[in-house]
Structure 1
Amino acid sequence: MTTTLSQSGIPPRAAGRPRRQRIASSRNHGGWVEMAPGVWYLTIGFVNAYAVGDPAGRWVLVDTGLPGTHGFTRAALARRWGADARPSAIVLTHGHFDHAGSARALAEAWDVPVYAGPLELPYLTGRSDYPPRDPSMGGAIAQMSRLFPTSGIDLRGRVHALPDDGTVPEMQGWRWLHTPGHTSGHVSLFRAADGVLIAGDALATLDMDAWASHVTEHRELDRPAAPFTTDWQAARRSVGRLADLAPSVIGAGHGIPLAGAGLARDLRLLAATLPVPAHGRYVARPARADESGVVWVPPPVPDPLLPRLAVAGAAAAAVLLLARAARRR
């Protein structure tokens, strides 16, 4: 394992306890950080993109970040590897706006193909939107999700299905795995030679439900973003499939990548105990999708925040009316 993972020392742990290697925060580092040999990550807002290969030569960009951030990504590449740094392909773990939002802009600027899981193509070719978000379970990411889109995007002419044999174009030694749950066509990428896993949103490496975690970037294995996960049983099975790989390094869509002793054990524990929300639209019944996109979603569930917003709105209106009446006296 490369020693470039740890840039900031931590106090020694007690004898006999496994020591987790610490990968530097891209946000604090100000650019691309190497998480494993030939694998770098960049935090774009609150989501990660990955460069795999040799950015001074041939490499692949995995996920592209939020809409409108293509300039940030290209500038970060230029600072690290020069103005001519460009990938040979883009691979998407899935098509949610935070992972594929800049895919078209970057693919057209570089004139490169985009690859995604076969069952993700309906959402990347304008044929289907994603199931509606479900913020009813509460928590930080659920509340933020009220402002996030669930529409698909149109990458026709650029996007292609990943090969059926599990290989990944332009990523020698890597294979893709279908890891549904967060989306029906979600994929994760694995390099068996040294156990490096790019998990996308099959899981997270921070608690996305805690407001503080989004600021402190506290590192922990946790469930995927709850308001956009539309099949919780599939999500649990997918984490179990990743745990069977016993990875030594995990980079997810959200949070600082994790590495070192105890990681495989912790992932097995997450697979066994994946915390499903206590309530929510997709908890009892998942959305259903096929190769054409979404075919059915369960009905909405009561959102506890809406009555509070109604009360707050009524109170604000009353205050405005009283103030207006007072000015007329």
Structure 2
Amino acid sequence: MPHNPLHDKAMPMTSINSGDLVEVLPDLVGVTIKIVNVCFVGQPNSDEWVLVDAGMPNSKDEIVDAAASRFGGNSRPKAIILTHGHFDHVGSVVELAEHWDVPVYAHSLELPYLMGMKKYPYPDTKVEGGIIAKLSGFFPNTPVDLRPHIKPLPEDGSLPGMPGWRWIATPGHTEGHVSLFRDSDRAMIVGDAFVTVRQDKLYQVLTQHQELSGPPRYFTPDWEAARDSVQRLADLKPSVALTGHGQPMSGEALRRDLEALARDFDSVARPSHGKSVD
């Protein structure tokens, strides 16, 4: 069998608990909230920072405490940026937006799901995958209502409160999914366009076994768009990537594995069966 570079361990593994802060760059930190990551962008002890994504339901206090430890007790972000509106990325966003009284930004195509108007498709419980895919039918898909805080991302690609960063349309996992990129150092915040732990395999999720892979299968309805999005991100040759699930990746391991994922997407990421491919 030919060697698959996606199976290589990309960086040393350490145990990360919910609420732990992992500094990737001096102004870029990942925070694990149960099974999903949120990001803080900004220098420590600064008033100039942004929260990217909002974690699981009932996680407001955990995120606020993590922000206080990074930026100070009374700090609040300039904005909350959402990569997309799935429950594990917006679980505490309403409470956080009200607590901090800050605007929330997302792609215009995500707004119906963030204004209580539209539900995402139900998860595909019969998609190729492990036990988590089969359990995904229990995951909530009820939309949140972020009015009056929600605003569309600027059409020029800029990101409010994040100078030097731009958003990139990376649909597939959702219609309006976006990833964030900084050209100066090629840092990337990915959301679920790709992840660094197999979300359909219970063992990998529990152990956080690192494996760069495509978006979660049970929640991805458009595999053509998802493949194009991975290629778009691989073309940027990121130096470091923070993903919605799994630990950060960086350097040559990231570039090698992301190029391999883009090249072999249909055989290693796209499921062989399921509603989205049948």
Length-normalised TM-score, structure 2:
0.91
Q: What is the distance in 2 between the residues matched to 1:144 and 1:40?
A: 30
Cα deviation for residue 209 of structure 1 reads 2.1
2:101 to 105, 111, 118: 111
Please name the residue that 2:41 is paired with: 52
Say how many residue pairs are matched: 266
Structure 2 residue identity aligned to 1:73: I
Contact residue 249 and residue 257 of structure 1 kept, 8 A = yes
* C-alpha distance after superposition, 1:200-221 (max 9, x if no partner): 0101101112221112111121
Q: What is the distance in 1 between the residues matched to 2:255 and 2:56?
A: 30
SS of equivalent residue, structure 2 residue 88 = helix
Q: What is the distance in 1 between the residues matched to 2:13 and 2:75?
A: 24
SS of equivalent residue, structure 2 residue 162 = coil
Runs of 4+ aligned structure 1 residues displaced above 4 Å come to 18-25
Residues 23/176 of structure 1: CA separation in 2 closer, same or farther (3 Å cut): farther
Q: What is the distance in 2 between the residues matched to 1:33 and 1:185?
A: 27
* C-alpha distance after superposition, 1:203-246 (max 9, x if no partner): 11011122211121111210111111010111011000000100
SS of equivalent residue, structure 1 residue 262 = helix
Structure 1 residue identity aligned to 2:59: T
Cα deviation for residue 192 of structure 1 reads 1.1
Please name the residue that 2:240 is paired with: 249
Cα deviation for residue 40 of structure 1 reads 0.2
Cα deviation for residue 37 of structure 1 reads 2.7
Contact residue 38 and residue 55 of structure 2 kept, 8 A = yes
SS of equivalent residue, structure 2 residue 230 = helix
Cα deviation for residue 19 of structure 1 reads 9.9
Cα deviation for residue 84 of structure 1 reads 1.4
Cα deviation for residue 144 of structure 1 reads 3.2
Contact residue 195 and residue 246 of structure 2 kept, 8 A = yes
Contact residue 10 and residue 210 of structure 2 kept, 8 A = no
* C-alpha distance after superposition, 1:50-88 (max 9, x if no partner): 000124221000001011110111122223443213211
1:194 to 185, 192, 200: 185
Contact residue 21 and residue 260 of structure 1 kept, 8 A = no
SS of equivalent residue, structure 1 residue 190 = strand
Q: What is the distance in 2 between the residues matched to 1:197 and 1:278?
A: 29
Residues 249/101 of structure 1: CA separation in 2 closer, same or farther (3 Å cut): same
Please name the residue that 2:17 is paired with: 27
SS of equivalent residue, structure 1 residue 40 = strand
Alignment of 1:149-228 (within 5 A): 149-228=140-219
SS of equivalent residue, structure 2 residue 250 = strand
Q: What is the distance in 1 between the residues matched to 2:15 and 2:240?
A: 15
Contact residue 178 and residue 187 of structure 1 kept, 8 A = yes
SS of equivalent residue, structure 1 residue 27 = coil
SS of equivalent residue, structure 1 residue 86 = coil
1:36 and 2:25 are equivalent in the alignment = yes
Q: What is the distance in 2 between the residues matched to 1:272 and 1:252?
A: 19
Contact residue 129 and residue 150 of structure 1 kept, 8 A = yes
1:120 and 2:110 are equivalent in the alignment = yes
Cα deviation for residue 25 of structure 1 reads 4.9
Larger Rg: 1
Structure 1 residue identity aligned to 2:157: G
Q: What is the distance in 2 between the residues matched to 1:45 and 1:95?
A: 17
Q: What is the distance in 1 between the residues matched to 2:11 and 2:201?
A: 23
Contact residue 248 and residue 264 of structure 1 kept, 8 A = yes
Contact residue 168 and residue 178 of structure 2 kept, 8 A = yes
Please name the residue that 1:131 is paired with: 121
Contact residue 55 and residue 86 of structure 1 kept, 8 A = no
Contact residue 9 and residue 211 of structure 2 kept, 8 A = no
Q: What is the distance in 2 between the residues matched to 1:24 and 1:120?
A: 34
Identity of aligned residues (%): 50
SS of equivalent residue, structure 1 residue 170 = coil
Contact residue 23 and residue 258 of structure 1 kept, 8 A = no
SS of equivalent residue, structure 1 residue 129 = coil
Cα deviation for residue 266 of structure 1 reads 1.3
Length-normalised TM-score, structure 1:
0.77
Please name the residue that 2:55 is paired with: 65
1:272 to 242, 263, 268: 263
Q: What is the distance in 2 between the residues matched to 1:226 and 1:126?
A: 24
